[in-house]
Amino acid sequence: MQNKGAITLLAVALALVSLYQLFFTYKTNQVERAASAFANGDPAKEKQYLDSIANQTVYNFLGLAKFTYKECKELELNLGLDLKGGMNVTMEVDVVDVVKSLANHSTDPAFNQAIEEAVKMRVSSPKDFVTLFGEAFEKIAPGAQLASPAIFGTHEMREKIKVGATNKEVLDVVRKEAEGAIDNTFNILRTRIDRFGVAQPNIRKADISGRIIIELPGIKEPQRVRELLQGTAALEFYETYDNGRAFDAGDQAFYNYLAQADQKLAEVLQAQAKTEVVTDTASQAGVKQEENKESAILDAIKGEADSLKNLSRNDIAKEHPLFALLQPNMTREGLGTGSCVGYAFAKDTGTINAYLRMPQVRALFPRNSRLLWEMKATPEGLIGLHAIKITTRNGKAPLEGDAVVDARQDYDQQGKPVVSMSMNSEGAKTWARLTKDNVNRSIAIVIDGVVASSPNVMNEIKGGSSQISGRFDVKEAGDLANILKSGKLPAPARIIADEVVGASLGQEAIQSGMWSFIIAFVLVLAYMLFFYSKSAGLAADIALLANLFFLFGILASIGAVLTLPGIAGIVLTMGMAVDANVLIYERIQEELRAGKGLKLAIKEGYSNAYSAIIDGQLTTLITGFILYYFGEGPIKGFATTLIIGILSSLFTAIFITRLILERAAKKSDNVTFTTPLTANWLRNTKFPFLQKRKISYTISGIAIIICFVSLFTRGLDKGIDFVGGRTYTVTFAQDVQVGDVAEQLAEVYGSAPEVKTVGTANNVKITTKYRIEESGADVDANVDSLLYVGLQNILPAGTDYETFRSVNLQQTQKIGPAVAEDMTRAAIWSVLFALLGIFIYIMVRFSKWQYGAGAVVGLAHNTIIVIGAFSLFAGLLPFSMEIDQAFIAAVLTVVGYSINDTVVVFDRIREYRKLYPKRDDGQVVNDALNSTLRRTFSTSLSTIVVLLAIFIFGGASIKGFIFALLVGIVVGTYSSLFIATPISFDLSRRFGKKSEEKK
């Protein structure tokens, strides 16, 4: 092998990078264990501990780079919600509403008819809505102009759509505005999530335009999340007070109000410290609030921040309790100016809010003042507090977001990022008055009750056009511009799918996943030692360990999320990684039996195995990429681990094992590749595969007919991924009958939902379509509460709603009809693209379409039988056999795995035809099948052993997924020997020439 030094260097570099990346996970776990020990079971104390060290250095990498706990947390290996619990939400920005809004809700008949037609078209078309609308409009009103005043040529759009613009130009503008509305909604949702205080939230745009996916680990209040995410965004412009200056008669610098509040608060807290105020007074009864307001207030403060006990023992905090947490806006010259009055860490904002709400403290501030936190923290992690002035009688902002016509990111004369903004005529008048009255003061731009920016007014701004400068970069300026445009483009986002996984279920998934992983890993290591001897087996095991280490390191470095299907993907990758080593070892044994020396046998064994290894792994990669492209959430995670695992397996099998074996061969000639028990296993077999093909065709034909009969009579148990609905996984204290549960819920839902046992008899999965067509947080709350009402007779007496949600309700999932349609379409396309991609690759690689056709027939055979098995055994086996995204992933994995087997046989047929050009084609095919039988058995057995370990020890949630893989591997191994290869032989004999293959 050439360039051994380069290969060794690359392996060492990969190991160091993996170690570097995984150390972030080790450090965060170390810190969190310390926090757990400190809190002693108190979640509030644990969170307080972690917040307090968020910005402290916990990882010093070789003295070259220092990382805080917060930075380590961002770089650790992320666990999916199915492993740690939490909430996954899919939201959709309704582009239909955006298009209608841009046309000022035009009453033009052609416009509205085109909208309706485009809505129907998008169900079955991958095109974006604006394109579909344009196509529909052309059909309904050929020659009509979208730029007409009756449609998009409105007063508000006159600057973007010129008179006489073509329909294509208008559609380009509409598409750009719609994308801006989606970006704006994305930014608003991201801001709301940041304010929610979730650790490691993940928000991203989905591949489907208009969809936004949000993952919130550890969420325990899903209804609050739904309300927060679906609330209407409020954009407001307010006048402000100044921290260090007084402009109006009767006012004073706002710092003075804070100083008075700090002094008053110290008096109140010191008075309370002198009296016997016990914390359980308020907890005994809420009615005592009127008798002892101060006690109730302190109890509320204690609930928001448990750190007050520590503060009361601090001398500084005794004298200045407010300023101990809120740093006043000060400069070296004295008081800072502007609307920002102070800064605080995020963990202290709750305590400060509680202080400022105290009646004695609130009375010291002007009645028309309001204190709001800033959206963006400083690099030091401090959040600004701004003093807002209410100047209207109704308490509303003098100017709101509907006045903004357009906003964009721009640059000022110094080249610094700014936001250019323009308003409509009414807004321009109000803006001119506001800016005239507030020259040299700040005007706060508030979104959802948080200050996005507070620019200083230099002079009166007429005409409604102005620039906003502030402490932001280009990206932040673009985000603010999108927020400002929210008034112009109302794009309501609605939840079309969500899933809530309880922490206990997540913990169970981790334990079962890890056990299945460990057992499967040990079995694979033991199998290689048993089948290929100590020396060769040990080399394969070392490569497998390196493969696993690299795989986790790469997952951590790219920020991938590890899910339960992802763990299954890793374990399956281990089983498939064995295949490359098996191919190499079998070829080396052939060279040794040919009388070649050990070193030459190793060299030529590797060389001869490359073709089959690369062909087999590339075809599996095709299915992995298709899974990644069409899948979402856990399926994308499964595809990610599969793709990375295949690539790392190739590196370790081809290079790492070779380095080990060549080094061993230099030291000794006693390197063996078999054991006495396995040396002659399936060696020199002469099974007449082609002569038996009519029997195999008959068996497969009967099996396929049975599958089709079952599919047409029994059908499939389609999960909500494909039909839409809500599912709830509920655990009861005792075993229950599914009929009783369905009967109880029929009374509240109007019709009986589908109820299935999951794993044990006290675990049930409830599926209902009740109100699934409706959207809104109130609808979700109603369906959830009715579940509790319907199950009350089965739950233990006295179980309240909160206990039910936290103890009994393990998992909830909602899939809207639109998502179900998209998933169905994606599933069909993914399978078709996988088959097409494999057909093209094999046809090109082996220079004959008959090979590709035989492979695709075999894959279609496997797919039909796996799907048919789920129809035949649904309801008969003690685990869920729903057809969902995971099932489609299993089918595609079977496709990728079984084609790997078929390609190895095809590769050997091609090789034998070159070696033995005078042999009959039938004999060549039979010889090739028999020569690869040992490899087929070894690879399939090791993979089946791995899958059985996951099936037995893994969680109930993936048993159906693993069952599909098990059936697929068995059927796939059979089809590569008895279906795909014989079919390609028959097609070649009938349509092609019996000639030597030349490549």
Q: Which tens digit of pLDDT belongs to each residue from 410-461?
A: 888 788 888 888 888 888 889 999 989 888 899 998 887 888 888 888 888 8
Provide DSSP, 30-93: HHHHHHHHHHTT-HHHHHHHHHHTTTSEEEEETTTEEEEHHHHHHHSPEEPHHHH-EEEEEEEE
Provide DSSP, 780-832: HHHHHHHHHHHHTTTSPTT--HHHIIIIIEEEEEEE-HHHHHHHHHHHHHHHH
pLDDT recorded at residue 505 = 53
Confidence of residue 45 (pLDDT cuts 50, 70, 90): confident
The DSSP bridge pattern shows strands 340-345 and 235-240 to be: unpaired
pLDDT recorded at residue 697 = 93
Higher pLDDT pick, 200 / 739: 739
Confidence of residue 869 (pLDDT cuts 50, 70, 90): very high
pLDDT recorded at residue 309 = 39
What is the rounded CA–CA span in Å between residue 419 and residue 476?
Answer: 10
Predicted TM-score (pTM) of this structure: 0.66
Residue 559, CB half-sphere, CA atoms under 13 Å: how many? Answer: 8
67-71, 192-196, 906-910: segment of lowest average pLDDT: 192-196
pLDDT, mean of residues 44-63: 77
Q: Write out the E strands in 722-776.
A: 725-731, 754-758, 760-768
Sequence letter at residue 244: G
48-52, 336-340, 647-651, 817-821: segment of lowest average pLDDT: 817-821
pLDDT recorded at residue 776 = 66
Residue 587 has pLDDT above 60, yes or no: yes
What pLDDT, in 10s, does the model give residues 143-169?
A: 888 888 888 888 767 778 888 888 888
pLDDT recorded at residue 298 = 33
Token duo for residue 969: 């591997």
What is the rounded CA–CA span in Å between residue 818 and residue 289?
Answer: 49
Helix (H) or strand (E) holding 217: strand 211-217
Token duo for residue 999: 């490549």
Confidence of residue 678 (pLDDT cuts 50, 70, 90): confident
Of these ranges, 208-212, 526-530, 708-712, the one predicted with the greatest mean pLDDT is 708-712
Torsion on CA atoms 560, 562, 567, 568, rounded to nearest 10: -70
Residue 105, CB half-sphere, CA atoms under 13 Å: how many? Answer: 4
Instruction: Count how many residues are written for the chain.
Output: 999
Which residues touch 944 (CB under 8 Å, ≥6 apart)?
966, 969, 970
Residue 2 has pLDDT above 70, yes or no: no
pLDDT recorded at residue 307 = 38
pLDDT recorded at residue 445 = 87
What is the rounded CA–CA span in Å between residue 168 and residue 637?
Answer: 39
Residue 820 has pLDDT above 90, yes or no: no
What pLDDT, in 10s, does the model give residues 311-320?
A: 444 556 678 8
Which residues touch 212 (CB under 8 Å, ≥6 apart)?
90, 91, 92, 93, 182, 185, 186, 189, 203, 204, 205, 206, 493
pLDDT, mean of residues 951-978: 83
Give the C-alpha distances (Å, rounded to integers) separating 192 from 189, 225, 232, 514, 759. 5, 10, 11, 35, 38
Confidence of residue 387 (pLDDT cuts 50, 70, 90): very high
Question: Rounded to an integer, what is the distance from CA 775 to the centroid of its chain?
Answer: 22
Token duo for residue 3: 């360039």
pLDDT, mean of residues 846-875: 88
Which letter, b or e, does each residue of 14-43 get, where b requires 16 or more Cβ atoms within 10 Å of its Cβ? beeebebbbbbbebbeebeeebbeebeeee
Residue 512 has pLDDT above 80, yes or no: no
CB atoms within 10 A of CB 752: 15
Residue 916 has pLDDT above 90, yes or no: no
108-112, 260-264, 951-955: segment of lowest average pLDDT: 951-955
pLDDT recorded at residue 983 = 92
pLDDT recorded at residue 696 = 93
- Kindly tell me the burial class for residue 548, based on how many C-beta atoms sit within 10 Å of its own C-beta (0-12, 13-18, 19 or more): buried
What pLDDT, in 10s, does the model give residues 607-622?
A: 888 888 887 778 778 8
The CATH fold assigned to 725-815 is Alpha-Beta Plaits (3.30.70)
Confidence of residue 895 (pLDDT cuts 50, 70, 90): confident
Residue 699 has pLDDT above 90, yes or no: yes
pLDDT recorded at residue 287 = 34
Confidence of residue 239 (pLDDT cuts 50, 70, 90): very high
Token duo for residue 534: 């100590």
What pLDDT, in 10s, does the model give residues 795-812?
A: 888 788 878 877 777 778
Please identify which residue in the block is written with the tokens 């009969």: 709
Residue 432 in contact with residue 461, Cβ under 8 Å? yes
The percent of residues in the chain predicted with pLDDT above 70, rounded, is 86
pLDDT, mean of residues 112-123: 85
What pLDDT, in 10s, does the model give residues 361-372?
A: 999 999 899 999
The strand pairing partners of 67, in sequence order, are 59
pLDDT, mean of residues 860-865: 91
Confidence of residue 127 (pLDDT cuts 50, 70, 90): confident
pLDDT recorded at residue 315 = 59
pLDDT recorded at residue 277 = 44
SS (H, E, C) 295-310: HHHHHHHHHHCCCHHH
pLDDT recorded at residue 299 = 40
Token duo for residue 641: 């681990």
Provide DSSP, 558-605: TT-EE-HHHHHHHHHHHHHHHHHHHHHHHHHHHHHHTT--HHHHHHHH
Which residues touch 845 (CB under 8 Å, ≥6 apart)?
615
Residue 707 has pLDDT above 90, yes or no: yes
Higher pLDDT pick, 382 / 875: 382
Q: CATH number for 502-667+688-714+821-991: choose from 3.90.700.10, 3.40.50.2300, 1.10.150.120, 1.20.1640.10.
A: 1.20.1640.10
Residue 675 has pLDDT above 90, yes or no: no
pLDDT recorded at residue 485 = 67
pLDDT recorded at residue 286 = 38
Residue 856 in contact with residue 839, Cβ under 8 Å? yes
Higher pLDDT pick, 558 / 240: 240
What pLDDT, in 10s, does the model give residues 100-110?
A: 888 888 888 99
Question: Rounded mean pLDDT of the chain?
Answer: 80
What is the rounded CA–CA span in Å between residue 856 and residue 868?
Answer: 18
Higher pLDDT pick, 340 / 888: 340
Domain ranges within the chain, ordered by starting residue = 4-76, 91-230, 502-667+688-714+821-991, 725-815
Confidence of residue 654 (pLDDT cuts 50, 70, 90): confident
Confidence of residue 823 (pLDDT cuts 50, 70, 90): low
Which letter, b or e, does each residue of 199-222 get, where b requires 16 or more Cβ atoms within 10 Å of its Cβ? eebbbeebebbbbbbbbbbbbbeb
Residue 91 in contact with residue 494, Cβ under 8 Å? yes
